[in-house]
Every structure is written in structure tokens, then in C-alpha cells.
Amino acid sequence: MATIAEQFKMKEALAQLGIHDLNDGTATGAEFFAAGEILSSYSPVDGQLIAKVKTTTAEDYEKVMQAATAAFKTFRLIPAPRRGDIIRQFGEKLRHNKEALGKLVSYEMGKSLQEGYGEVQEMIDICDFAVGLSRQLYGLTMHSERPGHRMYEQYHPLGVVGIISAFNFPVAVWAWNTALALVCGDVCVWKPSEKTPLCGIACQNIIAEVLRENHLPEGISSLLIGDYKVGEMMTHDKRVALLSATGSIRMGKIVAQAVAARLGKSLLELGGNNAIIVTPDADIKMTIIGAVFGAVGTAGQRCTSTRRLIIHESIYDIVKEALVSAYKQLRIGNPLDEHNHVGPLIDTDAVALYAKALNQVVIEGGKILVEGGVLSGTGYESGCYVKPAIVEAENSFLIVQHETFAPVLYLIKYSGDVQNAIAIQNGVVQGLSSAIMTNNLREAELFLSATGSDCGIANVNIGTSGAEIGGAFGGEKETGGGRESGSDAWKVYMRRQTNTINYTTSLPLAQGIKFDLE
């Protein structure tokens, strides 16, 4: 359990982020409309109540959408470099609040303190990226087939961007979307996970302060608190031009169908079932580091967490023994203690799914190498701490085909050449992240080729977990096909327009068509 000193420091951090009235009422100071039922946020770290907040009603939602659509009419007219400066100021606020927000992320979600700080750093990084992008929202100029004509394309803001984010990255994914959307001239309406509402309120407080200081409408960035019912309001609302949703495949299919039914746009970041291929030419030490962090980082609750380790039979026993030995060194406990490697799962429902997965893999014929289990006793009072487990399995097992959001690593043996391993890796419905450990150039290039990994992310000699801001983030197949963050992901937040200008005194038609009225 967190010490009294830790609780006091947490209250200080929350106060800095504009969240007050802890434990005895609703959180105040939040810049959002909410008059609904009370939602209590409990920490998986120690099971303690952090604060209570009010949820968004249908009436509240309508006020938010009216404010957002009104704000868009003025915000889209602000030059993009000026919008970039707004994001620059937001990034500076995040730098000032990095420690406090990082602690809140760690305490409310349960990831390690360093990962909490790292998530806020991702927010800062995407702000920096977006500032530069604000002067690079470029189109193309094309040569017309008609003399005296000029063709070009340009990008315009879409409108209201709806954001539905998951608990595992309670602040960074919102920032990925918001920084780019605002630079592109859109306005944002965000529904964070109901499991981490305080992180959402803290972020809204920070960006609302920036908007006020620049005399801009607060409707440029709005917050909704609630469960899937609030998300459904956004999904079916024609005023939401783009809906960016992060979560399970099941949720993504529901969102995709509803948004498509109204011919809206969706950006989906869904499940992952990520694998590392370990070939005979792999560096074993690097492999163990990458696999262990990928499997147990954030207690296995990353969409890029390593779920499967596909190991060549010639080195299988060596890798297996090294992994089992490494797992013995893991320290499980309070994530605010930087000496611990693994914190809690988000809640007891996640613990139940973890236990169910371990039971199911044994039923299907798997062999448990490192026993799992729920931890109890001093320091584990929340009931959310579990032991990272390693299981020998087959890729064909139903439970292996499924994404379990917990620290369960499946070891799968392959024989023959690397193409067999690639076929195993690709033999799941998800297509987010993948990696190969090899010092063989031919194997590495094959893995990255058109006949190699079918994932949106493919790495060589690093793990599956984590991503840099500069590259587009997202996956294929049932992962949804969306792209966020770097590269040209900004284009999804804008509408493309092709323009043709005739600067002659005649009107020739395309493809040489003749239409003479004389």
C-alpha cells in the first residue's frame, strides 16, 4: 500500500493539475460539462479512492458539441503557424507539469513511474513535431494536360475530431491526436477511458489554460467523462467528422460500422498480438532484454506488448532457460517505486481475464514454464498484482490467437528457414507490431519485404514494444489500419482538395472533348 508520504505527494501533484476535493466529493477545477452520475476513480496501486467525478449526460454532450462546432468556425481561420504556436505553448505547459502528470498516470493507471514520465514525454515530443508540421501542411502542384491551366492540391481542416482513448496510455494517445488535429485546424472532443478519468481532467485543465491565455474558445478542446454510452453519442453524431478510436477489436468493429453507416471517417487503433522471431543468428542477450521488457512492461497492457516468442528449434532451449532465469529477477510492486519492474493490472476484471487465459492454455495443451498467479499480502492489497507467466504453446491454440491484456508470454518453436517463422507470426488476425532478432542480413531484409511481416510496424533487433514519434503508428488487418503520430499521419485530420485554375480566355475541356455552342 502507498505510504502516507506517497499519498500526500499524490495530492500535491493532483492539486498542481487542478484536481481538488479528494476522497470527500467530486473533483473540481475541470474544464468540462458534466452533471451526471458520480464516477469514482480507484488506484490499482493500493486500491485507494483517488477522487470522484461527474459523468457526461446527453444534455452535457449537446453543449460540448455546440461549443466545439462554434469554435471550429473561428479556429480554422487562424493561420497554421499560429496554431502551431498554441501547441508550442501546450508543450511548455506539459514540461512544467511532467512530474505531476507522470505521477498521476502511474498512480491512476498502474504503470511504472518511469513509464508514466515517458508517456508525458511522448506528449511533449508530439507537440514539438506538430509545431514543425504547422509550416509544412503542403500539397502538390501538377502539370495540366490543357494549356494555360495550373493544377494543385491543398488540405483543409475537417471539423470536429472525436477521440476515444484507452486506459493503458491515458494521456499520450490523446496528445497524438490533439496536437496534429489542432495544428490542422480541427477542434477536438475527447472521451478518455472511464478507468482513468482523472488523467483526462488533468490534460483538459492544462490545455484549457493555454486556450484562455490566448483568448481562444475553450470549445477547441473538450472533455467527456463516461462509459461506452458517451462513446456511442460520438460514433453516431454526423457533426464528428473524424472519430479516432483506440481499444479492442470488438469495440473497433462496432465503431467502424456505425461511422461508416453515416459515411463518416474513422481512425482505428485496435488490438495487437505481437511476436518476436528469434533465429539461429540472433544475439541472445539482446533478445532476452527485448522480449522481457516487451512482455512485462506496463504489466503486459500495451497494444505493442510482446505476446509470442517464435524461436528456432536449434536455440529454443537456450532462449527458454535464459528467459526463465530473467523472470526470476523481476520485481513486482508499487509502480511509484522506481526499483520495481512490474506494477498492477488496471483492475480486478483484468486479473480475472489473466487467470482465465492461463487456465485455457493448459486446457489446450500448453505447458506453463513460469507460474503465474495473483499476489496478496502487504503491498498487494488492491488485488491487481499478478506474476508474469511464460507458457509453451502452439500458435494454433485459440487462446494464443486472442490478445490477453496481461503479462503472459507464449513460447512457440519453429523449424526450417525464417519463412516458416514469418508464416507463424502472420498467422493471427491482428497486425500491429512485429520484430525479428537476427544478425543475418538476408533474414532481416526478407522479414521487411512484401512477403515478410504483415504488420504496420516491423523491427529488426529491437522489441515490439514502444514507438518513436517520427514514424506513423498503427497496424493492419483487424488492428484497424489507422495511422497516428508521425510521418504523414496528419493527412487523415484534413480533407484533400484538387484545384484547377484556367488563366486563358478560352475553355478547353479535359481529354480533348469538344463542346461548341456556336
One-letter amino acid for residue 463 of the chain: G
Q: Is 303 a catalytic residue?
A: yes
Q: Which residue in the list 115, 269, 403, 443 is annotated as catalytic? A: 269
The neighbouring-strand residues paired with 167 are none
Residues 6+ positions from 210 with CB-CB distance below 8 Å: 86, 89, 90, 93
Kind of pairing between the strands at 484-485 and 472-473: antiparallel
In angstroms, the CA 244 to CA 180 distance is 12
Residues 6+ positions from 97 with CB-CB distance below 8 Å: 16, 17, 120, 202, 206
* Residue carrying C-alpha cell 487523415: 492
* Residue carrying C-alpha cell 509453451: 392
In angstroms, the CA 200 to CA 190 distance is 8
Is 179 buried (19+), middle (13-18) or exposed (0-12) by CB count in 10 A?
Answer: buried
> For residue 517, how many C-alpha atoms fall within 13 Å in the half-sphere facing its CB?
2
**How many residues would you count in the chain?**
518
In angstroms, the CA 108 to CA 48 distance is 10
Instruction: Answer for the pair 221, 79: CB distance below 8 angstroms, yes or no.
Output: no
Q: Is 269 a catalytic residue?
A: yes
Query: What is residue 476's three-state secondary structure?
Result: strand
In angstroms, the CA 92 to CA 97 distance is 9
Kind of pairing between the strands at 306-312 and 38-42: unpaired
One-letter amino acid for residue 327 of the chain: Y
Torsion of CA 474, 477, 481, 486, to 10 degrees: 20
Residues 6+ positions from 108 with CB-CB distance below 8 Å: 41, 43, 50, 170, 196, 198, 199
Provide the grid cell at 22: 479528494
Q: Which residue in the list 199, 303, 384, 455 is annotated as catalytic? A: 303
Which region, left, alpha or beta, applies to residue 512 given φ > 0 means left and ψ of -120 to 50 means alpha? left
Provide the grid cell at 372: 503465474
DSSP string, 309-334: EEEETTTHHHHHHHHHHHHTT--BS-
Residues 6+ positions from 455 with CB-CB distance below 8 Å: 274, 431, 432, 433, 434, 475, 476, 479
Give me the active site residues, please.
Answer: 269, 303
